[in-house]
Amino acid sequence: MKVVALAGGVGGAKLADGLAQILAPGDLTVVVNTGDDFEHLGLHISPDLDTVCYTLAGLSNDATGWGREGETWRFLDTLRGLGGPTWFRLGDRDLALHHERTRRLAAGERLSAITRDLAQRMGAEATVLPMTDDRVRTIVLTGEGELAFQQYFVERRCEPVVRGFRFDGVEGSRPADGVLEALAAAEAVVLCPSNPWVSLDPILAVPGLRPALTGKIVVGVSPIIGGRALKGPAAKMAGELGIQPSARAVAEHFERLLIGFVVDHQDAEQTPAIEAMGARVLSTHTIMRSPGDRLRLARETLEFAEGLRR
C-alpha cells in the first residue's frame, strides 16, 4: 500500500519510523511541517524535518526527543564563553546538517531536493519532504502579542497563553515538489500523532494540499491520550483555546478529513462520540516507548486503513 504520512516532530517521527519499517521505501512519503523553521546564527533550521530525518535514520536521541544520539557540545560551550546566544541548543553534529542545508539553499536548491538527498545520506529510506519549498512561519498569537514559534516554544517554554495561530506566508505557498504526486499515488494518508494546531494544521493549510486528500483513506492517530499530550504543549494549547483536551477534540478538529481515527485504549469510551462524526475508530495501545511499540502501532494503523478501503 502506498502511504503518505503527515508529521510534525517527535510523536509523528516515531509513527513514521514504524511505517518505514513495514512499507517498501518507495511506498512511504513523509510530508513534514516546516512552519517551525527559523533562522538562527544565519542558519536555516528545520526542527521537524531534522527530527523526522534523524528518527528514520536511527540517529535520534530518544531520551531528549530532539537532536542526535551521542551529540557533543563543544561549539555551544565555546559560544557561551564568547558571550554568544545559546538559547537554541546546537550540537556539534547537528550544526553540520543546518550548515549544509543553508549552504545548498543559498546556492539556489529547493528545500525538498536538499531534504530528499540529506535524508538519504543520513540513511533514511523513506522519502522525506517538507510541506512546501516556500517560506511559511507559524506565529503564535498570545496574551503578550505575536511570537515567532521558536520564541514561544524554546525561548519562552510555551508559557505565554495561546489565543490562536497564523501561518505567515501560507496563502502564497505551494506544496513542495513531489508532495502532490505522492498524495495522488497514495491509497492511505496517515495523520501522525503530532500537535493538531502547530504541526498538522500548517501542512493542511498549504493551498492544494487538503483537496488532494479527497477520496483517500485518511486515518488520524490521536496525540492526546487520557486528556494529556505525551510530549509538547498540545493539551495546554487546547485548554487555552477553550477546548477540552481529548482524543475526541482532535477527531473533531479534523472531522471533515477523517475516514478512520486511532485512539488509545484508555480513551475507548470516546468511540461512540467520534463514530457519530462519521469516522471509524480503532482503540489500541498508542504510546510508543520502544521500537516495538512504533512497529506495532504502525502495523495496526495500516491494517485499520486497509480494512476501511473495503
Which residue reads 521558536 in cell numbers? 150
Q: Which is nearer to its own copies, 41 or 141 (CB)?
A: 41
Helices marked H in the chain: 10-22, 47-56, 74-81, 92-106, 111-122, 149-150, 179-185, 201-205, 234-240, 247-253, 271-276, 291-309
Stretch 79-108: interaction string toward its own copies, x if CB under 8 A: x-xxxxx-----xxx-xxx-xx-xx--x--
Residue 76 grid coordinates:
555551544
Residue 56 contacts residue 16 (beta carbons within 8 Å): yes
Which is nearest to 44 in space by CA: 103, 87, 93?
Answer: 103
The CB density around residue 157, as the number of other CB atoms within 10 Å, is 9
Q: How far is CA 93 from CA 60, 82, 111, 227, 232, in A?
A: 12, 20, 20, 36, 24
Which is nearest to 158 in space by CA: 252, 222, 238, 225?
Answer: 238
109 near its own copies (CB under 8 A): no
The one-letter code for the residue type at 263 is V
Provide the 3-class DSSP secondary structure of residue 121.
helix
**Closest CB 97 distance from its own copies, rounded Å:** 6
Exactly one of 89, 121, 228, 256 binds its own copies (CB under 8 A); which one?
121
Stretch 16-55: interaction string toward its own copies, x if CB under 8 A: -------------------------xxx------------
Exactly one of 13, 15, 76, 251 binds its own copies (CB under 8 A); which one?
76
Residue 32 contacts residue 8 (beta carbons within 8 Å): yes
Residue 28 contacts residue 18 (beta carbons within 8 Å): no
**Closest CB 10 distance from its own copies, rounded Å:** 21
118 near its own copies (CB under 8 A): yes
74 near its own copies (CB under 8 A): yes
Exactly one of 122, 154, 161, 287 binds its own copies (CB under 8 A); which one?
122
78 near its own copies (CB under 8 A): yes
**Closest CB 78 distance from its own copies, rounded Å:** 4
**Closest CB 99 distance from its own copies, rounded Å:** 5
Residue 190 contacts residue 3 (beta carbons within 8 Å): yes
Q: Which is nearer to its own copies, 96 or 185 (CB)?
A: 96
Q: How far is CA 236 from CA 66, 173, 194, in A?
A: 20, 29, 14
Single out the segment in contact with its own copies by CB under 8 A; choices: 74-82, 176-184, 266-274, 275-283.
Answer: 74-82
Q: Which is nearer to its own copies, 59 or 281 (CB)?
A: 59
Q: Which is nearer to its own copies, 95 or 148 (CB)?
A: 95
110 near its own copies (CB under 8 A): no
**Closest CB 293 distance from its own copies, rounded Å:** 29
Number of residues that bind its own copies (CB under 8 A): 30
Q: Which residues bind its own copies (CB under 8 A)?
A: 41-43, 72, 74-79, 81-85, 91-93, 95-97, 99-100, 102-103, 106, 117-118, 121-122
